[in-house]
A and B are shown apart, each in its own frame.
Chain A
């Protein structure tokens, strides 16, 4: 009896159909000739042309990309530090509170995070705009990076680090020359995750943004409320394409790295 029974195949296939069909339909109708998004009237790329001529959307896209690049980079540094503290330092004052603060943002409803950050910025008199959105996104995404990097650190063979330390390397040098190269794939996928989360976020950005810093999701949201148009479908398709390419590159890089590491380990053992 095979374990991969017909029931299992059907449930997985239906599950994937459910997950992907809405996205596929959205992409298909971005190439629709008609203004209606539910009636097919022939192939056309005119909505993409309209999209690139829409200055408002293009400006918003530029703001979003800058926020995402900056916040993902800072969040990766902070998140990696947080992961190191959680895994390497099992005892320090306030560790419970710290791990609580790392995990809570993962499930915290966005309206609460957004409102509380906005009230913080108002209380300290920080003008809302590009920087407040970036700070808010760093805070949210560093926790996701921390979880990704933490899971890699937990399966980490510490003997290589100990060897470096025994041979007289300083902890700082050990970190940059031994630890970081090994956890690099996890750090990189943490960065990609942070980037896409920032690219996506509507609620927190709406609360913390100010004049002149409208992000793409905010722009899409305000247009969706007026009605569904093929132009929005086109914008969404481009975003999906961007993210898909990013994820595929990330997974190829991770796989290559993993293979390289295995090859190096084999070579090291063979040389012994």
Chain B
């Protein structure tokens, strides 16, 4: 093969995935933004104006004049949307915190386990992640129902007399998010803790530091990168979560992912759902960019 051929090969390796992501990931966002400026129409597609090359330059300019920010104004005027955004952020925040509380001791225990066990423990954390998200959420319905397994257990143990109402409340959503996203929190914390040099703790303890303050002064700060990565991996997707609030939450649960879905599938209002998606993306851009910078830094360190 010629030198030219190998240069083409290395160019292709970059260009093909680059072009694919530009076309199927970036351009769609431009289209979402454009449709969020349109108005609903009873037509196919159900919005206007529709840009057509056949209209010529004058037609396109005319179409641009028809675009407006009305949908965004509408989002700020209707309390439903603002409440849905705020309650999504609140639910995602609380769930992320609960996930951290549960994941940290597990990751810590795993990192302390005998070296030969660790690959197996790691595999056991990853395995549920491979089973369907939908199935894992579905499994909780039978557990949390008023006549479900949890209530049967608690009543037969004599702990409660009346069944607890958990399903269709925010608690069910917290449980669902913690359960579904737990591996995403355990893995980065575990990998941070596993790399930790244990002699640092021994040094702190030898110098008379009680174990608890040794944990807060040495172990926890060293695992902070893993904690932050885990929180990002849980918080960002949880804000836009649809399946969990839909199956476990109640009718009064407001989450923006569900609002977007309803707006799109039930109300068939494409421009408003595009506006909802645009605002959600703007809210999440800061944590996403933060997450990417962390990934890039981790990649640098890996070299």
Contact = CB atoms under 8 A, between A and B. Distances in A.
Chain B interface: which size bin?
Answer: 35 or more
B198 interface: yes
Contacts of A211: none
A123 interface: yes
A84 interface: yes
A16 interface: yes
Given A81-B13, A104-B288, A19 B112 contact: no
A62 interface: no
Interface string A234-247: 00100110011011
Nearest to B302: A154
Contact of B135 (A26, A85, A104, A111): A26
Is the contact region of chain A dominated by helix, strand, or loop, or is it mixed? Answer: helix
A5 interface: yes
B9 A239 contact: no
A228 B141 contact: yes
B292 A3 contact: no
Interface string A190-203: 00010010011011
B134 A109 contact: no
**Contact count band on A:** 35 or more
A16 B280 contact: no
A221 B288 contact: no
A206 B14 CA distance: 31
B233 A107 contact: yes
B296 A99 contact: yes
Given A92-B14, A109-B236, A170-B5, A154 B303 contact: yes
Given A26-B139, A103-B291, A111-B261, A243 B198 contact: no
Given A108-B288, A109-B239, A139-B21, A85 B14 contact: yes
A38 B145 contact: yes
B134 A200 contact: yes
Contact of A94 (B18, B121, B143, B295): B18
B107 to A, nearest CB: 9
Contacts of B145: 38, 228
B27 interface: yes
Given A12-B113, A22-B143, A172-B9, A120 B28 contact: yes
B228 to A, nearest CB: 13
A22 B274 contact: no
A84 B13 contact: yes
Given A104-B292, A171-B9, A202-B243, A111 B21 contact: no
B59 interface: no
Contacts of A129: none
Contact of A247 (B102, B127, B264, B270): B127
A86 interface: yes
A101 to B, nearest CB: 4
Contact of A112 (B9, B127, B233, B240): B240
Given A78-B20, A155-B302, A228-B142, A12 B135 contact: no
B106 to A, nearest CB: 4
Contacts of B105: 7-8, 11, 15
Contacts of B254: none
Nearest to A150: B299
B21 A119 contact: no
A29 interface: yes
B242 interface: yes
A247 B102 CA distance: 26
B292 A103 contact: yes
Q: Which 5 residue pairs spanning A and B have beta carbons closest together?
A: A109-B240, A116-B28, A15-B106, A8-B109, A11-B105
10 contacts: A11-B105, A15-B105, A79-B17, A85-B17, A103-B291, A111-B277, A116-B277, A170-B1, A171-B10, A236-B135
Given A23-B139, A94-B18, A109-B242, 17 more contacts: A8-B113, A10-B109, A11-B106, A12-B109, A37-B142, A81-B16, A98-B21, A99-B292, A112-B281, A116-B28, A119-B28, A119-B274, A123-B45, A199-B132, A239-B135, A240-B132, A243-B130
